[in-house]
Structure 1
């Protein structure tokens, strides 16, 4: 865990009435586990937008994003990379269509690219008669 993340956790804990960073981490872990246990879209084909934000000029993270694009290319419908103004950071945006569990795997892979990557996403079911799941390739 980076020093900045520890400091941010300590500040967050203090500002929001937590006893310390371990309580914040425990609650965050519980929320993450619950998020992945939700079965609203289980066995459904979904469309997800996944946004990853990370520091500017981070070649290792950019390389990892490229690897992720190749690893999941069968389900990525769209991808863009943009730099924020004044080199404040980079934004990688993915649109993914696949089975819900495969989308969760993709999101976990993006989150795991680097501890400094911030990831947000939305998921909606794909409407239509074809409900067969499209697998994301792990090759």
Structure 2
């Protein structure tokens, strides 16, 4: 763990009333584990949008993102890389369509690229999207 991360954890703990860094880490670990517990999406085809933000001019991270595009190419529907204004950072966005466990594996892999990568995501079951799209179409043509 880098000194910067330790300092950030200590500051976060103090600002939010935690007893210390270990309590913050314990809660974060529990939250992460809860994310990967079986859900109603288990075994279903889902569409995931994954956004990774990282520092500008990080060739090793960019190279690893490219490796992920190849590793998961069967499931990736879209991928873009954008640099933020004034070289403030880079944003890598993936749209992936696969079974839920594959999408979770992809998210975990992106998170594991480097500790400096910030990852956000959304997951929606494809069959729910199809039903909602069908209802909207019927309503507009009915």
Larger radius of gyration: 2
Q: Distance in 1 between matches of 2:96 and 2:104?
A: 10
Q: CA deviation at 1:38?
A: 3.8
Identify the residue that residue 41 of structure 1 maps to in structure 2: 41
What is the alpha-carbon root mean square deviation over aligned residues?
Answer: 1.1
Identify the residue that residue 117 of structure 2 maps to in structure 1: 117
> After superposition, where does 1:10-25 map in structure 2 within 5 Å?
10-25=10-25
Residue ranges of structure 1 left out of the alignment (5+ in a row): 130-139
Q: CA deviation at 1:40?
A: 1.9
Structure 1 SS opposite 2:114: coil
Identify the residue that residue 4 of structure 1 maps to in structure 2: 4
Q: Distance in 2 between matches of 1:70 and 1:2?
A: 30
Equivalences, count: 129
Runs of 4+ in 1 over 6 A off after TM superposition: none
Identify the residue that residue 126 of structure 1 maps to in structure 2: 126
Task: Point out the structure with the larger helix share.
Answer: 2
Q: Distance in 2 between matches of 1:87 and 1:71?
A: 28
Q: CA deviation at 1:39?
A: 1.1
Q: Distance in 2 between matches of 1:118 and 1:65?
A: 13
1:59 aligns with 2:59: yes
Q: CA deviation at 1:54?
A: 0.4
Per the normalisation by structure 2, the TM-score is 0.88
Q: CA deviation at 1:115?
A: 0.8
Q: Distance in 1 between matches of 2:25 and 2:125?
A: 30
Per the normalisation by structure 1, the TM-score is 0.90
Structure 2 SS opposite 1:37: coil
Identify the residue that residue 84 of structure 1 maps to in structure 2: 84
Deviations 1:35-92 (A, max 9, x none): 1004120010000000000000000000000000100000000000001111111000
